[in-house]
Structure 1
């Protein structure tokens, strides 16, 4: 399994960056986890949009879903194709569709349900509702005995331990340093590291950092809590899980 970071900025894009988006490639499947603003442009560098097998929208904040509109145009008018599976919270098709005249059958909208796994080719996707104001779902991708867990957005009342322990990689939001907490909508780097440690994760990658945050300080905070080296998600980072 391979993870390609398409964008990792939290809430709004940093200079030369993009918001949340990740390409997960298994032996058979190309999965686009979150399509935040700016991520479609980077996707082109690693995968033809027509080769995407499924899109997952973890929730409807724009930094996680805005490029679904570009994908709609690419498939509908560029590729002239339809039926791309899009997994999203209940009602997303209608709410996001308010900005287009119609979806034109481009997407096969499928409702994410808590603890209801689905299969896309050789990949198995499972979901857990997180602690965030909008209905938001963390996603686990497993294939060929390898597991990756992406926390999406969450506050500290939820834990990656909602999935089975021992994931090979936890891709965890770390919006700010622990000392800067202003809200319980997100995790600090410390909380992300602690959560990954408590779930016996094999590796930790921090993402969704606020654009003006000291990334090195976040990495150090996450490392100390995790108890092992951690990685920062940066655009175009490619990792073998």
Structure 2
């Protein structure tokens, strides 16, 4: 397996990176974990969007899902599609409100809302803790995490390898349990550790490292650092509490799982 970072800027796109989005290549299977602002353009540098086998959303904040609208336009209006997109609808795994909320983002005016669930080109599948789905040759699992909205960590397995993506979360046992013995944990680390951090929102660098250590993962990749945050202290915090390999991902980077 391999993960290609389409974007890794926390909470919104930055000057050097789109927001959150990751292309996972698992054998012959291609799927995205999140598609935040700007990631659809980055996706096209790595893959023909028609080659996608599925889209998975950790949660429905715009910095993680806004570019589904661009993918919908691509599938609805491309002048020479290789398949009929209404007959070969792309699977989208997401929280339960996704059809309505993403449809409203695509067509927000009252006149357009008669056809805003996007079900003509997408087949929505509901994520839930404990769910298991097969996407091509990959197995997808999910676990609820601690964020202000419905949110999930995601685990992708293929060929004996495993990648876990935290999505956005505060400290929680659900992430540790899902990431148990994973080869790679792609984990958000949005701010340096302090005594007065908000709860149930994001992880510090230290907390990301602590979750990786508790889960016994092989490697920790840090992501979702906002542009206003210095990433180096976050990296140092994680390295201080996790004794495996740790690095900050970069937009456009490719990482073997």
TM-score (norm 1): 0.96
Describe the shift of the 1:159–1:75 C-alpha distance in structure 2 as closer, same or farther (beyond 3 A). Answer: same
1:181/1:188 contact within 8 Å kept: no
Describe the shift of the 1:222–1:5 C-alpha distance in structure 2 as closer, same or farther (beyond 3 A). Answer: same
Describe the shift of the 1:188–1:235 C-alpha distance in structure 2 as closer, same or farther (beyond 3 A). Answer: same
Correspondence for 1:31:
31
Correspondence for 2:136:
121
2:144/2:174 contact within 8 Å kept: no
* Range 119-128 or range 6-15, more displaced: 6-15
Structure 2 unaligned residues grouped into runs of 5+: none
Correspondence for 1:208:
224
Partner-residue secondary structure (3-state), 1:6: strand
Partner-residue secondary structure (3-state), 1:179: coil
Query: Could you report, residue by residue, the CA deviation over 1:87-112 in whole angstroms, capped at 9, with x for unpaired residues?
Result: 11012101221232322611001111
Query: Could you report, residue by residue, the CA deviation over 1:111-153 in whole angstroms, capped at 9, with x for unpaired residues?
Result: 1121010001110000000001100011000000000000101
- In the TM superposition, what is the alpha-carbon distance from 1:229 to its structure 2 partner? 3.0
1:221-232 map, 5 Å = 221-232=237-248
Describe the shift of the 1:135–1:190 C-alpha distance in structure 2 as closer, same or farther (beyond 3 A). Answer: same
Query: Could you report, residue by residue, the CA deviation over 1:200-233 in whole angstroms, capped at 9, with x for unpaired residues?
Result: 1000000111212111221111111212331112
* Counterpart pick for 1:198 among 211, 214, 225: 214
2:153/2:178 contact within 8 Å kept: no
Counterpart Cα distance in 1 of 2:63 and 2:156: 21
1:98-177 map, 5 Å = 98-99=104-105, 100=107, 101=112, 102=115, 103=118, 105-163=120-178, 165-177=180-192
Find runs of 4+ consecutive structure 1 residues off by over 6 angstroms.
none
- How many residue pairs are counted as aligned between the two chains? 241
TM-score (norm 2): 0.90
Counterpart Cα distance in 2 of 1:173 and 1:133: 15
* Counterpart pick for 1:218 among 234, 244, 247: 234
Partner-residue secondary structure (3-state), 2:75: helix
- In the TM superposition, what is the alpha-carbon distance from 1:14 to its structure 2 partner? 1.5
Structure 1 unaligned residues grouped into runs of 5+: none
- In the TM superposition, what is the alpha-carbon distance from 1:191 to its structure 2 partner? 0.1
Counterpart Cα distance in 1 of 2:202 and 2:69: 26
Counterpart Cα distance in 1 of 2:68 and 2:247: 27
Tell me the C-alpha RMSD between the 2 structures. Answer: 1.4
1:76/1:104 contact within 8 Å kept: no
- In the TM superposition, what is the alpha-carbon distance from 1:166 to its structure 2 partner? 0.8
Counterpart Cα distance in 2 of 1:152 and 1:137: 6
1:175-190 map, 5 Å = 175-179=190-194, 182-184=197-199, 185-190=201-206
